[in-house]
Amino acid sequence: MNHSAAIPVPHGAPHAETATGLDTWKLGFWTFIGSETLFFGSLISTYMVYKGRSVAGPYPHDVLNIPLTSVSTFVLLMSSLMMVLALAAVQRGDRRGTLTWLMATALFGATFLGFQAFEFTHFYGEGLTLSSNLFGSSFYVLTGFHGAHVTVGVIWLLALWVQALRGRLGQADALTVEIAGLYWHFVDVVWIAIFTLVYLLE
């Protein structure tokens, strides 16, 4: 086992001052992620129920661009790698590594958003709007909420980067980066489900 990622207090380590013995912030954030799972579960359910029931076009096969979305999916997956490398860097007190990987994660996230903006613009040009049919309504709501989550994540990462630049994000603040990482990876796993259910299972 590689112990290079070890920090002064291991994550999830018992904290004598809490009833669970766990860090309350992290436990609370996992609870929030659980609620977000239900939120996206309801949006995915809605999309799946209305799938193929539009009485007027454009239909999914008319507009969805699998090669383009595959690239954006790869970009988001790689951003998750950057995020864990940022966490590993902050855990070992590597300021330069922290700055590099946090910025890389934010840039990859922004690139994903660029793909999504291009896709939405293209779809709109093809006549697919939020109110054009059931596909448009359920597609834009689902992917739009995901995109909003990515946007929040990018802003969060940039805020951490500024903190790191000012020397206020040291080894002792590793949990702060880990919590941001949990959010970022959650956004990634939601996209893993969306890519399969919305794009590949047309």
- How far lies 110's CA from each of 75, 103, 105, 113, 179, in Å? 10, 10, 9, 5, 20
Among 11, 110, 141, 156, binds other proteins (CB under 8 A): 11
Among 18, 24, 37, 129, binds other proteins (CB under 8 A): 37
Give me the least distance between CB of 128 and other proteins, in Å please.
21
Residue 5, classed as helix, strand or coil, is coil
Let me know: does 33 contact 186? Beta carbons within 8 Å.
yes
What is the end-to-end Cα distance of the chain in Å, rounded? 42
Please identify which residue in the block is written with the tokens 């799946």: 48
Does 12 engage in binding with other proteins (CB under 8 A)?
yes
Q: How far apart are the C-alpha atoms of 191 and 202, rounded to whole Å? A: 16
- How far lies 188's CA from each of 59, 108, 112, 124, 127, in Å? 26, 12, 11, 25, 29
Among 58, 109, 136, 181, binds other proteins (CB under 8 A): 181
Let me know: does 184 contact 157? Beta carbons within 8 Å.
yes
Give me the least distance between CB of 22 and other proteins, in Å please.
6
Backbone angles phi, psi at 133, to 5 degrees: -165, 180
Let me know: does 151 contact 71? Beta carbons within 8 Å.
no
- x/- letters, 56..95, toward other proteins (CB under 8 A): ----------xx--x--xx--xx-xx-xxx--x--x----
Total site size for other proteins, rule CB under 8 A: 61
Does 13 engage in binding with other proteins (CB under 8 A)?
yes
Nearer to other proteins, 41 or 114 (CB): 41
Does 9 engage in binding with other proteins (CB under 8 A)?
yes
DSSP state of 11: T
Q: Which stretch binds other proteins (CB under 8 A): 37-45, 55-63, 107-115, 139-147?
A: 37-45
- x/- letters, 89..128, toward other proteins (CB under 8 A): --x-------------------------------------
Residues at the interface with other proteins (CB under 8 A): 1-6, 8-14, 16, 20-22, 26-27, 30-31, 33-35, 37-38, 40-42, 44-45, 48-49, 66-67, 70, 73-74, 77-78, 80-81, 83-85, 88, 91, 178, 181-182, 185-186, 188-189, 192-193, 195-197, 200-201
